[in-house]
Amino acid sequence: MAGFIIRRLLQMVPMLVAIALLIFVLFSVIPGSFATGQQDEGLGLDMAVVTRMRQELGLDDPLHVRFGKYVAQLATLDLGISFRSRQPVADMIGARMWPSLILTAAAMGFAIVIGVPLGFVAALRPGSLVDLGLMIVAVSGLSLPKFWLGILLMYLFALTLGWFPSFGYGDGGLYHLTLPAIALGVSPMALLARTTRAAVLDIMNADFVRTARSKGMNEYRVVVWHVLRNALVLVLTTIGLQFGSLLGQGVVVEKLFAWPGIGSLLVDSVFQRDIPAVQGCILVISLFFLVINTSVDIAYKLIDPRIRYN
């Protein structure tokens, strides 16, 4: 098991290098540059300034030289200096990382705690009113725009009821975290409810469930002893994929609730053509995705004895 985990972690290194290369090439071939972007305020371009900036920022070097420098930098955990704020990108991301992580984890926690049981209950009574009601909730949850849902939550729980603040990070506690976490968590919750329902329905028709019934088990035991774990294997995939992509998806909610997350840093940096910051953000988000995926693989192995990765 330890060997398996170490192997899986080492496999992440080439993946990260490939991602770094992809991001680097992508941002080198798109038109426009930070140097010209800075002058574009109706004042006309001062070519002397542009040339100086291009030299200072090393934008004149050939692509492979720049990539070499970039990877050498990354190897020392240095993500470069932001064009715009002149701060180390690593520090900028570091400041945003914790708020982003707790928001993502809280949203995912909400999605799992609500969505998986909902899907289970719906699957145990297929075609019932409970099932119908839950699935209407699930479909609505998937189709609601996050910003609109966020505004609704603000209006109800912050303005009308006054239970939570309408925006801000505060000390990062539950008081400030709850509303943005729900706004972000509703759509993965709905997806999880649907996936869980489908997985449980699938397992309920399995031969071994018929065997369990033929043993004289009541339905409660059939579900707890035989269905739960098998369904979990199927649901885990969705949990992993949702969790991984949620970190970068938070931007709308972050903007709405003035939450200092990595998603809004990324979008701001894109608009400012702050390439080092953009690269850093994408790299960190990718790393998070890889870590989650690896964790899911490890969890699979813990749950399902059939899985071998050799």
Partner 1 sequence: MSGANMPLLSVEDLHISLTTDAGRFPAVEGVSFSIARGETVGLVGESGCGKSITALSIMGLLRDPLGLAGGKIKLSGQEIQNLPASQLRALRGKRIAMIFQEPMTALNPLKAVGTQIAEMFVLHQGASWREAEAKAVDALTQVKVPAPAQRAKDFPHQLSGGMRQRVMIAIALACEPDLLIADEPTTALDVTVQSEIVDLMKELCAARGTAILMISHDLGLVTDTCKRVCVMYAGRIVEQQDSERIFNSPQHPYTQGLVASLPRLGMRARHGRRRLTEIAGVVPGITSYPAGCRFHPRCTRRTEICETVVPELTALAEGSLVRCHHHG
Residues that bind partner 1 (CB under 8 A): 206-208, 210-218, 221, 225-226, 229-230, 233, 303-306
Tell me how far, at minimum, the Cβ of 212 lies from partner 1, in Å.
Answer: 7
Q: Which is nearer to partner 1, 29 or 129 (CB)?
A: 129
Q: Which is nearer to partner 1, 66 or 213 (CB)?
A: 213
Q: Give the CA-trace dihedral at 240, 241, 243, 248, to 10 degrees.
A: 150
* Residue for token pair 């035989």: 226
Structure tokens at 198: 């489908």
Structure tokens at 162: 């006054």
Q: Are 240 and 293 in contact (CB under 8 A)?
A: yes
How far apart CA 41 and CA 49 sit, in angstroms, is 14
Structure tokens at 225: 């002893």
Q: Which is nearer to partner 1, 52 or 215 (CB)?
A: 215
Closest CA to 137 of 162, 119, 150, 164: 119
- β strands within the chain, DSSP E: none
Q: Are 9 and 250 in contact (CB under 8 A)?
A: no
Tell me how far, at minimum, the Cβ of 303 lies from partner 1, in Å.
Answer: 7
- β strands within 68-112, DSSP E: none
Tell me how far, at minimum, the Cβ of 207 lies from partner 1, in Å.
Answer: 4
3-state secondary structure of 81: strand
Cα 90 to Cα 76, 104, 154, 263, distances in angstroms: 11, 20, 32, 15
* Residue for token pair 């240095």: 78
How far apart CA 86 and CA 306 sit, in angstroms, is 52
Handedness of CA 57, 63, 65, 67 (dihedral sign): positive
Q: Which is nearer to partner 1, 22 or 228 (CB)?
A: 228
Q: Which is nearer to partner 1, 230 or 242 (CB)?
A: 230
Tell me how far, at minimum, the Cβ of 120 lies from partner 1, in Å.
Answer: 17
Tell me how far, at minimum, the Cβ of 239 lies from partner 1, in Å.
Answer: 17
Tell me how far, at minimum, the Cβ of 236 lies from partner 1, in Å.
Answer: 13
Q: Which is nearer to partner 1, 176 or 197 (CB)?
A: 197
Tell me how far, at minimum, the Cβ of 211 lies from partner 1, in Å.
Answer: 5
Tell me how far, at minimum, the Cβ of 194 lies from partner 1, in Å.
Answer: 22
Residue type, 297: D
Q: Which is nearer to partner 1, 57 or 217 (CB)?
A: 217
Q: Which is nearer to partner 1, 142 or 234 (CB)?
A: 234
Structure tokens at 218: 């009541």
